[in-house]
Amino acid sequence: MILWTIVPVEEVWGLPPTDLQVAELSVGHRCLVLEREPDGAQRVLRLVSTDPQDYLDPRFTPGSPWPQA
């Protein structure tokens, strides 16, 4: 693997780990990256989709709780 980037390598690899608990979930054609908080609540961390309309959907907005109430 060769990284070709303007970011120094030590910065790419040397970042401290996070205690973030994440998982990916497929919802139709979308990929949702969810984060789990210490109390077990799940939130949308990131939406990966090429459909721009998905980003207007409040259910998939980063920060919104998952599953929806």
Residues that bind other proteins (CB under 8 A): 1-9, 12-29, 31, 34, 36, 42, 48-53, 56-59, 66-68
Kindly tell me the sign of the dihedral angle through the C-alpha atoms of 37, 50, 30, 67: positive
Beta carbon nearer to other proteins, 5 or 63: 5
- Asked if 66 contacts 34 with a C-beta cutoff of 8 angstroms, the reply is yes
Distance of closest approach, residue 39 Cβ to other proteins, in angstroms: 14
CB 18 within 8 A of CB 10: no
Q: Which is nearer to other proteins, 7 or 63 (CB)?
A: 7
